Amino acid sequence: MAREISEEKHLKKMKAVKEKQDQKIAAAKEERGVSILLAGPGKGKSSSAFGMLARSLGHGHKVAVVQFLKGAMSTGEEKFFNAHENVDWFTMGDGFTWETQNRQKDIDSAQKAWDKAAELMADEQYNLVILDEITYMFKYEYLELQPTLDALKNRPKDMNVVLTGRGPKQELIDAVDTYSMILAEKHAFKDGVKAQAGIEW
């Protein structure tokens, strides 16, 4: 079956694809850092942020991570990246909020995490700052959104920022350059398979 498409037809199609792709590349002229929001119920928000972290390190960049929710449990990503000389890693939360069952403690943790994030986002040495699961802070009203919008706007020109979590506010969606919505079409966990080390944490 695979061999039935003619070489000419393929060449014609691929030429058109290449032309379109080259046009897009030529049109993309602005050189600056981007802000990326990864939201939605599907698997792949934090893991995508950590993939970009690896990419950045491959280019010799300096990276900072603030984890707003996870923290009580030691994760694979923390174990792996925290040891790297170009990574500054901060896990400020006391675990998931439904584990702590203490709203004031959560608010204090969130504020502490945000203070650190604001400091990092003003620091030119970082090429990438990851604000992992920060959207929950706004969703649960642990943090005001405005300081984050201001920090995004006033950050160093070449800094990339990645924000993750479910239920992002519309103002945050409006503020970022790239917004991927990740849908959970299927999820192994829902079907009774245990969360796997290396996959979910």
- Which 105-144 residues touch a second copy, going by CB under 8 A? 107, 127-128, 141-144
With CB under 8 A as the rule, give the number of residues binding a second copy: 93
Draw the binding track, 59-98, toward a second copy (x: CB under 8 A; -: no contact).
x-x-------------xxxxxxx--------------xxx
Given the rule CB under 8 A, which of 4-12, 65-73, 112-120, 149-157 is the region that contacts a second copy?
Answer: 4-12
Nearest to 128 by CA among 76, 52, 30, 46: 52
Min dist CB 105 to a second copy, Å, is 11
Query: Which residue among 23, 58, 109, 126 contacts a second copy (CB under 8 A)?
Result: 58
Q: Quick one: DSSP state of residue 63?
A: E
Length of the chain in terms of residues written: 201
Instruction: Rule CB under 8 A: say whether 185 interacts with a second copy.
Output: yes
Min dist CB 23 to a second copy, Å, is 12
DSSP β-ladder status, 35-39 and 63-67:
unpaired
Given the rule CB under 8 A, which of 48-56, 64-72, 114-122, 147-155 is the region that contacts a second copy?
Answer: 48-56
* Residues with Cβ within 8 Å of residue 94, at least 6 apart in sequence: 71, 72, 100, 105, 106, 109
Min dist CB 40 to a second copy, Å, is 8
Q: Quick one: DSSP state of residue 162?
A: E
Query: Which residue among 68, 72, 103, 125 contacts a second copy (CB under 8 A)?
Result: 103
Nearest to 160 by CA among 49, 84, 67: 49
Question: How far is residue 107 from each of residues 45, 52, 136, 142, 159, measured CA to CA in Å?
Answer: 23, 29, 11, 5, 27
